[in-house]
């Protein structure tokens, strides 16, 4: 499961709740080419999706185990998701439920599929049916929480995550997602407590470190946030997003040389990344390098002329260069999009 909100440059924004993937069906080999398809057409194995698709298809086509058809369709549907073949994935989940309308697993996975597609009401109906069939299903409660969060009904999301945790106190994702719901409601202390518990349960949970860092950034706990983003980078050394986020926190904390090093490294890995260019432009502006700031803001605004931070930042940089008319024009354009942008820049320590 992934976060349903994320923190970007001082703001929370909505993102997709659950990343589910899938793929095109490969040509089916003859039965003789598969040694024992039941060894891979199982939930508890880590076989590649292509192999699971092939072997589950053999079992479905054989029709030798009619009582297990629902399970085979569900496993193959999950494998199609992993390969981004969404039509076949949904078709298999539907077949699984038609074969066994009481399959909690198939209902839950189809609900997850609908969450990814932001069809939250359809997802909730599947989760509710799964919960009715099995009120002890922690997965169904936890994933219904994702759907409620997708609808911005964070109180209901928190209630579902809490039920899931009571049923299974060792679910790091449920703690992480409940923390995100708390953070979206501005409840920073319980959010940090949940992220910390997720990390305690899963010390390599990079998303939980990042979410805790974002919450600490919002609280002005910059040194602690930097420690958390550094933990993310230790786990995910190539993460451009974590480098950009740490760059921003360094900027807020006034560690401008460290900030520029992080943002520049991020841009070496992903040249032209708009989010990183925007943050580096703000860092250059705060370090009184208006020409370099303008160059970065120009690059962002060529991609999207309505990025408020880049518009306002370029306006301030132009005024620093005594190009007052153009600067004021940019400031006015930014304020027309977000009337509070000036106060936000004051919180950034950028004037």
Give the model confidence (pLDDT) of 74-119 as tens digits.
999 999 999 999 999 999 999 999 999 999 999 999 999 999 999 9
In a domain, 100, yes or no: no
- Cβ neighbour number for residue 127 with a 10 Å cutoff: 30
Structure tokens at 108: 């839950």
In a domain, 338, yes or no: yes
Q: Which residues contact 17 (CB under 8 A, 6 or more apart)?
A: 1, 2, 3, 4, 115, 116, 118, 146, 147, 149, 150
In a domain, 27, yes or no: no
In a domain, 246, yes or no: no
Helix (H) or strand (E) holding 189: helix 188-201
Work out whether strand 5-8 and strand 11-14 pair parallel, antiparallel, or are unpaired. antiparallel
CATH number at 338 reads 1.25.40.10
Q: Residue 326: give the domain boundaries.
A: 272-351
β-bridge mates for residue 14, sequence order? 5
Radius of gyration of the chain (CA): 24
- The pLDDT score that the predictor gives to residue 58 is 95
In a domain, 305, yes or no: yes
Cα(140)–Cα(71) distance, integer angstroms: 17
Q: Which residues of the chain have pLDDT under 70?
A: 1-35
Q: Which residues contact 291 (CB under 8 A, 6 or more apart)?
A: 317, 321
* Residue from 73, 133, 144, 136 nearest 104 by CA: 133
In a domain, 339, yes or no: yes
Query: Is residue 28 a contact partner of residue 57, using CB atoms and an 8 Å limit?
Result: yes
Q: At residue 340, what are phi and psi to the nearest 5 degrees?
A: -95, 5
pTM confidence score: 0.85
Query: Is residue 75 a contact partner of residue 52, using CB atoms and an 8 Å limit?
Result: yes
* Residue from 312, 299, 301, 303 nearest 338 by CA: 312
- The pLDDT score that the predictor gives to residue 64 is 86
In the chain, the number of structural domains is: 1
β-bridge mates for residue 62, sequence order? none
In a domain, 264, yes or no: no
In a domain, 291, yes or no: yes
């Amino acid at each position: 499961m992934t976060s349903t909100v994320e923190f970007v440059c001082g703001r929370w924004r909505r993102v997709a709740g659950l990343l589910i993937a899938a793929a095109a069906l490969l040509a089916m080999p003859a039965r003789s080419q598969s040694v024992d398809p039941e060894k891979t057409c199982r939930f508890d194995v880590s076989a590649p999706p292509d192999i699971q698709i092939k072997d589950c298809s053999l079992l479905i086509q054989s029709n030798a185990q009619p009582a297990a058809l629902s399970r085979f369709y569900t496993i193959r549907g999950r494998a199609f998701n992993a390969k981004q073949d969404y039509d076949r994935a949904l078709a298999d989940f539907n077949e699984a439920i038609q074969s066994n309308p009481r399959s909690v697993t198939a209902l839950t996975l189809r609900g997850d599929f609908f969450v990814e597609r932001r069809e939250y009401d359809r997802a909730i109906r599947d989760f509710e049916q799964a919960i009715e069939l099995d009120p002890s299903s922690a997965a169904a409660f936890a994933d219904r929480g994702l759907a409620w969060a997708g609808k911005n009904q964070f109180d209901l999301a928190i209630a579902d995550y809490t039920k899931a945790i009571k049923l299974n106190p060792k679910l790091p994702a449920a703690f992480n997602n409940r923390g995100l719901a708390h953070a979206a409601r501005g409840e920073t202390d319980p959010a940090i407590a949940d992220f910390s518990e997720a990390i305690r349960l899963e010390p390599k949970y990079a998303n939980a470190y990042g979410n805790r860092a974002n919450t600490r950034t919002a609280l002005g706990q910059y040194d602690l946030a930097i420690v958390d983003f550094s933990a993310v980078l230790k786990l995910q050394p190539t993460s451009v997003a974590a480098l950009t986020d740490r760059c921003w926190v360094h900027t807020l904390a006034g560690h401008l040389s460290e900030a520029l090093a992080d943002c520049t490294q991020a841009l070496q890995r992903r040249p032209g990344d708009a989010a990183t260019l925007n943050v580096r432009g703000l860092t250059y502006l705060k370090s009184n390098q208006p020409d370099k700031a303008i160059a970065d803001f120009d690059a962002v605004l060529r991609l999207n002329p309505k990025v408020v931070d880049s518009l306002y930042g370029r306006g301030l940089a132009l005024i620093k260069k005594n190009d007052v008319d153009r600067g004021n024009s940019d400031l006015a354009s930014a304020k027309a999009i977000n009337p509070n942008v000036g106060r936000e820049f004051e919180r950034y320590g950028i004037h």
